[in-house]
Amino acid sequence: MIKFYHVYKAYDNRNQFALKDVTVSIQKGEFVFLTGPSGAGKTTFLRLIFRELTPTDGKVVVSGMDTSLIGKKALADFRKKIGVVFQDFKLLDNRTVFENITFVLKVLGYPERFRETKAHNVLKWVGLQHKFNEYPPSLSGGEQQRIAIARALLNDPLILLADEPTGNLDYDLSIEIMKLFERINNRGTTVVVATHDKSIIEMFKKRVIRLENGYLKR
């Protein structure tokens, strides 16, 4: 599902690499924690999968596609296969939950009925159907993150990427969010969660990929 072959990533022309010689595979249906100290390269790793970045050297293959070879036109279709969740939920405060979730579908011209059905389905998944017409500021932090996760599930993605999704949540809520990721994983979605939360990693007993100073640690 996801393959890194001797991946190097430099942001500028500097000889400073955020990732160095990273070779790793993540299989379809796996649940993986990506961990390591601040600056180790976790976010860079996720952005390479989402094809927000391409490697400076080496190769990233996602769902059979070499991400460096994906053209502008194919990029939107490629990204539909991947859901992304961030630490700061990136919800629009002046848009309802429904509007937040289906914003992209609206831009693409999908009719309202279709968007409503889609939104209802993903909201049911995260247990927040009743918040359909609410605005994000009236929701708790955990609820806002679940809305962001619902939005990431909209296209039924093959892969779900989460970058420190519990960074702004307390311990109990973090566990709740991880259990939600586990349920999403159980229906077949490959899940990659970047976190430095050791207690969460120990509790959930998943595969752990560790980065340190840009290198993969075995």
Distance between CA atoms of 115 and 102, rounded to whole angstroms? 6
42 sits near ligand ATP (criterion: CB under 6 A): yes
Between the CA of residue 142 and those of 96, 176, 180, 198, what are the distances in Å? 17, 8, 11, 20
141 sits near ligand ATP (criterion: CB under 6 A): no
Binding mask 1-40 for Mg ion (x = CB under 5 A): ----------------------------------------
Give least dist CB 167 to Mg ion, A.
9
Selection from Mg ion, ligand ATP, none that 59 binds (CB < 5 to 8 A by kind) is none
Binding mask 37-76 for Mg ion (x = CB under 5 A): -----xx---------------------------------
Distance between CA atoms of 94 and 138, rounded to whole angstroms? 11
Residue from 1, 2, 22, 40 in contact with ligand ATP (CB under 6 A): 40
Across 100-136, b (16+ Cβ under 10 Å) vs e yields bbbbebeeeeeeeeebeebbeebbebbebeebeeebb
Selection from ligand ATP, Mg ion, none that 7 binds (CB < 5 to 8 A by kind) is none
Give least dist CB 85 to ligand ATP, A.
14
Query: What count of Cα atoms within 13 Å lies in the side-chain half-sphere of residue 123?
Result: 21
Residue from 41, 55, 58, 136 in contact with ligand ATP (CB under 6 A): 41
**Structural contact between residues 78 and 70, judged by C-beta atoms closer than 8 angstroms:** yes
